[in-house]
Amino acid sequence: MYRKSKRGRTLVGKGGRITSNSKKNVDALIQKIKDNQDYSDAEKVTLINELKYTVEYYHQQNKKLTTSGFFAKFAEDKINRFLANAGYSAEELAAEAGVEVEDVLNEANWSGDYFMGVWKINFNYTGSIITHI
């Protein structure tokens, strides 16, 4: 199964580099947050400030940051954080693995990088993150 990567746009490049392209991506994400009707005004301000702080932190720490990595910080649990970081939703992984969404969200089905004992999770962002073993 091949799937184009959905990891997200780069906000801070490798080695903490901030380029004109990454600045455009940050500005586009700020605008997307402002335009989102699901957030209250206070939530928008908080999220934008958190974004600016996180971009600066990753820049100072010489780390790469993508949009999916940023939103993974807000996931409610370890599995959702892992999936968001990979650019997946629980529904997408369930469909790709041929299982129910409840199976994906059940922590008992996970053992390190293995899901249900037959899927190996990898972070090759150019395609699927799962490999049948």
Rounded Cα gap, residues 27 and 104, in angstroms = 34
Q: What local confidence, expressed as pLDDT, does residue 29 receive?
A: 92
7: confidence class by pLDDT, cuts 50, 70, 90: low
Strands annotated E in 25-73: 65-66
Q: Is the pLDDT of residue 117 over 60?
A: yes
Q: What local confidence, expressed as pLDDT, does residue 2 receive?
A: 45
Range name among 35-39, 62-66, 85-89 with the lowest pLDDT average: 85-89
The pTM (predicted TM-score) of the whole model is 0.68
Give the highest mean pLDDT range of 31-45, 61-75, 83-97.
31-45
Q: Is the pLDDT of residue 31 over 70?
A: yes
Q: Is the pLDDT of residue 1 over 50?
A: no
| Coil vs helix vs strand at 95 | helix
The backbone torsions φ and ψ at residue 31, rounded to the nearest 5 degrees and listed phi first, read -65, -40
| Coil vs helix vs strand at 114 | strand
CB atoms within 10 A of CB 114: 13
Helices (H) and strands (E) in the chain, counts: 6, 6
Contact 39, 33 (CB under 8 A): yes
